[in-house]
Amino acid sequence: MIQTVSFENDKATNLLKATVMDKQMEINILLDKIASLKKELKLMRIETERVDKKK
């Protein structure tokens, strides 16, 4: 009985860990995308300022 409960707890813990890792990976991907977009926006602003100064 105790072994069965322990096995079920281990199984549930492993499933929870896998779910947390999946979510963490998704969060990391989104954070990378945000950083990339921020960098692109900064570069576009610099380019826009450069072009505007030429006018």
User: pLDDT for 7-54, tens place per residue?
Assistant: 899 999 999 999 999 999 999 999 999 999 999 999 999 999 999 988
Q: How many domains does the chain have?
A: 1
pTM above 0.75, yes or no: no
Rounded Cα distance between 7 and 1, Å, is: 10
Rounded Cα distance between 42 and 32, Å, is: 15
Rounded Cα distance between 2 and 36, Å, is: 51
Domain encompassing residue 3: 1-55
